[in-house]
Amino acid sequence: MESDKFHNGQAQTNLYLAIFVALKHCAMKTLLLVGTFIVFLSGQLHAQIGISTGSGEPDNSAVLDLQSTEKGLLIPRMSAAERNNIASPAPFLMIINTTTHCLEAYNAITSGWETIHCFECPVPDSPATGTHVPDATQIIWNWNTVAGAAGYKWNTVDDYSTATDMGSGTTKTETGLTCNTPYVRYVWAYNTCGNSGSTALAQATNIGPSPPLAGTHVPLQTQVEWNWNSVAGATGYKWNTINDYASATDMLTGLRKNETGLACNTMYNRYVWAYNACGNSTPATLTQTTSACAGWDCGQPITDARDSKTYSTVQIGTQCWMGQNLNIGIRIADGTPQTNNGLIEKYCYNNLESNCDIYGGIYQWNEMMQYSMTPGVQGICPTGWHLPTDAELTTLTTYLGGLSVAGGKMKETGTTHWTSPNTGATNESGFAALPGGYRTYLGGFGSLGNRGSFWSSTFNDPPGYDCSWNIDLFYNTDDVNREGGAMPVNGFSVRCVKN
């Protein structure tokens, strides 16, 4: 008999399935009947079976021909333990071992399973180290991507199990490190098949910040305002007239230094360093030539013709200030009020003229104003100079960064005159404020070394009492306290500003 058509193969298969169902579910008599039926059919059915999603015929050489352009053949898939539970496996029995991802067949001769082919699941290679970016207290760790990797893990120790999963990222910023210290970190690549070996990343933190860049300096005939730019990671700066960090002036966070007493039309080199807890940078050289010699200029000293006392001057922004507290007049005892008698009268702290020589005189507001109420009058200042208004004091503090930081930039550095710690004092403005204390409205002195109080010529008239605006600087803060409630009978220091 000729071979069945391939499309009849499905019908034959369905018939076999019906017989198997009958064998499983029928009673004994039915089983005998079905068995007889199978014997009958065995002479009628052919041994060639074809299964196809199309209409092709089975190949003559195949007992079973599966044909499809849409689906494939799956053989049994099981773990190695499940495979080992198969009782008396037939020779050449085939499975997929899901433990090893291998196609295996049973070898009856050796009574063991042999590998025909393994389907590999490759783990990725270890990532190559990238270029790291160190700072004084942090490192940005970088590594390169790996073909076939689904992600990366990073750790401070060589332990994959506790590593931080970075996802697909190839960078890690680690902070809180110690400066000038070498570090080693570890990174792995991974995918669904497993993880690579670790790659060691090595980098040391920086020693200190980079040197600052010079800013735009402001020259006068006998003065230069030196300026430099901030540096990332720096906590402060030092300035010097010579290339010697050890003897340099600590400017704290200041970016400006006003240097007076220079010669006109002369080139100067100065040096500035950035520093932090790790150390200091190399010096940046600042170079500037003073203005041409052409008469008096701010930064040159002035002599008060009334008593021949000499005062330094300093340019701060657009203003020219005396660099010392005014000390003019006849000293009177604390218990005697200053009066409009045609004489300039002053108090000296604790009634000692030597304190006036250092800190300047102490004046009641009306005496300072020479009994005028007009803001900005000359008052007790030398000719060509006047008493600062509240607005002019605000211009000064604004130029120095605002009330919250201007005090430190105005105070004389060190603790020769200021009480320790003289917080934030850099004197980068050149104002050189001293803590001359004050006289109370009831008489008596206080706060020498702790406080410097300076009158403005702007009167304030709140309800209930008369008072004036003034500013206060203190030994334990770097801010400026702007006050509008000082009574005129108080005694404060005086600075003059040029017309």
Round the average pLDDT of the chain to a whole number and report it.
Answer: 89
> Residues 398-414: what's their mean pLDDT?
96
Mention every residue, 6+ apart, whose C-beta is less than 8 A from residue 354: 348
pLDDT of residue 323: 96
Q: Around Cβ 424, how many Cβ atoms within 10 Å?
A: 18
Same domain for 260 and 195, yes or no, is: no
pLDDT of residue 137: 83
Burial class (CB in 10 A: 0-12, 13-18, 19+), 152: buried
86 domain residue, yes or no: no
368 domain residue, yes or no: yes
Same domain for 251 and 333, yes or no, is: no
* Minimum mean pLDDT range among 23-32, 56-65, 265-274: 23-32
Same domain for 185 and 259, yes or no, is: no
Same domain for 278 and 311, yes or no, is: no
Percent of residues, the chain, with pLDDT higher than 90: 74
Q: What is the CATH number of the domain that holds 159?
A: 2.60.40.10
418 domain residue, yes or no: yes
Residue bearing the bigger pLDDT, 445 or 49 = 445
Residue with tokens 């940005």: 140
pLDDT of 67 over the 90 cut: no
pLDDT of residue 118: 85
482 domain residue, yes or no: yes
* pLDDT band at residue 1 using 50, 70 and 90 as cut-offs: very low
Instruction: Name the amino acid, one letter, at 318.
Output: T
- Residue 160: beta bridge partners? none
pLDDT of residue 48: 66
109 domain residue, yes or no: no
Same domain for 323 and 243, yes or no, is: no
Range of the domain at 306: 302-498
pLDDT of 27 over the 50 cut: no
pLDDT of 24 over the 80 cut: no
- Convert the pLDDT of each residue in 380-393 to its tens digit: 999 999 999 999 99
Same domain for 306 and 437, yes or no, is: yes
pLDDT of 494 over the 50 cut: yes
- Convert the pLDDT of each residue in 202-230 to its tens digit: 999 988 888 999 999 999 999 999 999 99
Same domain for 56 and 167, yes or no, is: no
> Residues 268-295: what's their mean pLDDT?
93
410 domain residue, yes or no: yes
101 domain residue, yes or no: no
* Minimum mean pLDDT range among 32-36, 236-240, 264-268: 32-36
- Convert the pLDDT of each residue in 305-343 to its tens digit: 999 999 999 999 999 999 999 999 999 999 899 999 999
Same domain for 324 and 471, yes or no, is: yes
- Convert the pLDDT of each residue in 90-145 to its tens digit: 999 999 998 888 899 999 999 999 999 888 778 899 999 999 999 888 999 999 99
Phi, psi of 422 (to 5 degrees): 45, 60
Task: Please say which residue of 289, 318, 336 terminates a domain.
Answer: 289
Spatial distance between the Cα atoms of 366 and 458, rounded to a whole number of angstroms = 11
Same domain for 321 and 262, yes or no, is: no
Same domain for 436 and 327, yes or no, is: yes
DSSP, collapsed to helix, strand or coil, labels residue 115 as: strand
How many domains does the chain contain in total?
4
Task: Please say which residue of 232, 266, 289 terminates a domain.
Answer: 289
Nearest to 185, CA basis, from 171, 168, 203: 203
Same domain for 363 and 475, yes or no, is: yes
* pLDDT band at residue 12 using 50, 70 and 90 as cut-offs: very low
Spatial distance between the Cα atoms of 132 and 130, rounded to a whole number of angstroms = 6
> Residues 413-437: what's their mean pLDDT?
96
* pLDDT band at residue 278 using 50, 70 and 90 as cut-offs: confident
pLDDT of 277 over the 90 cut: no
Percent of residues, the chain, with pLDDT higher than 70: 90
* pLDDT band at residue 35 using 50, 70 and 90 as cut-offs: very low
Structure tokens given for 151: 């992600």
DSSP, collapsed to helix, strand or coil, labels residue 302 as: strand
Same domain for 7 and 66, yes or no, is: yes
pLDDT of 51 over the 90 cut: no
pLDDT of 19 over the 90 cut: no
pLDDT of residue 59: 84
Pairing of strands 64-67, 49-52: parallel
122 domain residue, yes or no: no
Burial class (CB in 10 A: 0-12, 13-18, 19+), 276: buried
pLDDT of 15 over the 70 cut: no
Task: Please say which residue of 157, 172, 204 terminates a domain.
Answer: 204
